[in-house]
Structure 1
Amino acid sequence: MGIISFLKLVEIQTKVASVIPYIVGTAFALYKFDNFNTKNAILLFLSMIIFDMTVTAINNYVDYIKAIKKEGFGYEEHNAITKYGLKPKTVLGIIIGMLILSASLGIILFLNTNIIILLVGLVCFTIGIFYSFGPIPISRTPFGEIFSGVTMGFFITFLAVYIHIFDKEILNISILEGNLKLIINLKVIMSIFIISIPLIVGIANIMLANNICDMEDDFINRRFTLPIYIGKENALNIFKYLYYIGFVGIIIGVILKVLPITSLLVLLVFIPINKNIKLFYTVQSKKDTFVLAVKNFVLLNVTYIFTILLGILF
């Protein structure tokens, strides 16, 4: 397998959906706690990005194995196994190798921190694997948007913050003299959730846009996603309002002083994002307009990152 076919198999261009939450969490840890742990940051990044690639490879592998309709833009152009004539056994071997490497890095990170990293990591690994694998993969149900949005939007952001402040009694579980001790700082946990809202809705909308564009092919291939259950019109309305929720989340964060006042500058990108929403309403095509969901995610959240960094400076 060549480098190009491997990068296509793991859809490297989509890794922005995990890298951006990681950066937001890191920026927030610097802004709110003035903490940065280089070793933990590197371990989390490598484990996260490799696991993200693993999940994508599993998705392409399962789609290849289960595909009923084997022609059309989505199948021929977006599945590297078909496009590059990859051997399924080779792909499976790469998936297993990446999974072991990602898990190993996660265990090292756990040994450097505490049990919370292990527990949250196990949750993420479980959701990631069963997102595309198993008798009823999550991606083939109406819950794909929820699981992808929360897992990547919230859990990655949480981990990116927590690895820098794990020793500050924000969240921890311990056993002392036979007694289970649970520490939860609800204020900090809720703060992390609030800053994650633009990420959760943006990632959920990438999944939703993908499913709206693939409705006909998904029905044939027995992928009963959210748009198939609720209809295209309702799905498009959810697509629109989720972005609005993202902006409201940032405003709430500023009002509650979770985010710096500079984060209100994100409102400047409302007009281009709304324009992209209207374009997607007009045409829903994997080839032509699906990319608008990715552009909106990047535009909203990269701007968001810069506003947090400005808050650190000022």
Structure 2
Amino acid sequence: MQTKVVVVNDHSNMRKFLEFVEIRTKITSLLPFLMSLSYLFYRRLPVNLERTLLFFSSMFLFDLTTTAINNYIDTKTNGQELPFPRGMAKLIIYLLFGVSTVLGLTLAYRTDLVVLLLGGLCFLCGVFYTWGPIPISRLPLGEIFSGLFYGLFIPFLMLYMNMPSGTFLTLTVDWSAVRFDLNLAPAFSLLLVTAGPICATSNIMLANNICDLEKDITVGRYTLPYFFGKNALDVFAGLYYVTYLTWAVSIALRILSPVCLLALLTIIPVHNNICRFRAEHIKEKTFILSVQNYIIIVGAQTLVIFFSGLFL
């Protein structure tokens, strides 16, 4: 009598999970995180390994959670199917949300109230982006929220946790008063350095909404291009050019080193992609250009900051 050995292959389920959370889109959280590490390396500042790992794990898992929620809700109306049965998909969302929340609260306990408040704000906006009576995705706010939460808040929290206390701001709360102090010079420097991920992230959302404008209107989703009309293409181009302007100012003010001038060369392929998207903005053909521009801009900025730390 022969015994058959059955080997369970989990590769299929893993592929389904990665499809469900759209792992290919997580570059928008990974690159700002890496750029922040490069900046700390350039400034010769030590990295708190425990805080950094807690932050990355919580941030990345919550990014997966928001995408899963978005897909779960969207498939109720768009006719598409989820990779898993809806009950299983909901369980995955709960697990991702639960683990990311525990990690985030642990990080807040290890740091301070600023991390707790900003982290909580990120969680709220992530959940209410597609869930709730009036989801953020149905309003002309998606570009603003995505740019700020991915492009600004990720670098800010990374730098805030690893740089000396009080570098950017201080928040003290007691029974008699709440005191908030913002250091303008470091805050302004941070805005200049993070303009690349802020604008490039916003443009991914803007390009998506430009391509989906007619379809969005039919389902009652009035995004920024609905209000801007053809001017949305000018906004799309302008955000990229603002990136290069702020980058040049950062170098001129010696916030970044002259090595970072090399990143300005990326304006050539980025400009070519802008022209191609202006000529034809079709989801299946040219939306990818906004993702390419994001990788070109933020990837180049991350590399030149890192090389500045190596050579200077």
Same fold, TM-score > 0.5, yes or no: yes
- Root-mean-square deviation (CA), in Å? 1.7
Tell me by how many angstroms 1:186 deviates: 2.0
Which residue in the other structure is 2:227 paired with?
Answer: 229
1:48 aligns with 2:59: yes
Task: Show the 5 A alignment for 1:214-293.
Answer: 214-231=212-229, 233-293=230-290
- How many residues matched? 300
Tell me by how many angstroms 1:289 deviates: 1.0
Task: Show the 5 A alignment for 1:48-197.
Answer: 48-67=59-78, 70=79, 76=80, 82=81, 84=83, 86-165=84-163, 167-168=165-166, 170-175=168-173, 178-197=176-195
Tell me the SS of whatever aligns to 2:283: coil
- Is the 8 Å Cα contact of residues 174 and 182 (structure 1) preserved in structure 2? yes
Which residue in the other structure is 1:25 paired with?
Answer: 36
Tell me by how many angstroms 1:135 deviates: 0.9
Q: After the TM superposition, which of the residue ranges 184-193 and 135-144 deviates more from structure 2?
A: 184-193
Q: Please give the alpha-carbon distance, in whole angstroms, between the structure 1 residues aligned to 2:177 and 2:222.
A: 46
Q: Please give the alpha-carbon distance, in whole angstroms, between the structure 1 residues aligned to 2:303 and 2:267.
A: 16
CA deviations 1:4-53 (Å, max 9, x no partner) are 11111111000000111111122222323522111111111111111111
Which residue in the other structure is 2:197 paired with?
Answer: 199
Which residue in the other structure is 1:73 paired with?
Answer: none
1:4 aligns with 2:15: yes
- Is the 8 Å Cα contact of residues 40 and 163 (structure 1) preserved in structure 2? yes
CA deviations 1:73-101 (Å, max 9, x no partner) are xxx5xxxxx163x3222212211211111
Residue type at the aligned position of 2:290: A
CA deviations 1:93-115 (Å, max 9, x no partner) are 21121111111111111122111
Residue type at the aligned position of 1:239: F
Given the superposition, is the C-alpha separation of residues 33 and 211 from structure 1 closer, same or farther in structure 2, using an over 3 Å criterion? Answer: same
Tell me by how many angstroms 1:276 deviates: 0.8
Tell me by how many angstroms 1:166 deviates: 5.4
Q: Find the structure with the greater CA-based Rg.
A: 2
Identity %: 36
Residue type at the aligned position of 2:289: L
Q: Please give the alpha-carbon distance, in whole angstroms, between the structure 1 residues aligned to 2:44 and 2:123.
A: 28
CA deviations 1:148-205 (Å, max 9, x no partner) are 1111110011011112125355422224674444343222122112111011100000
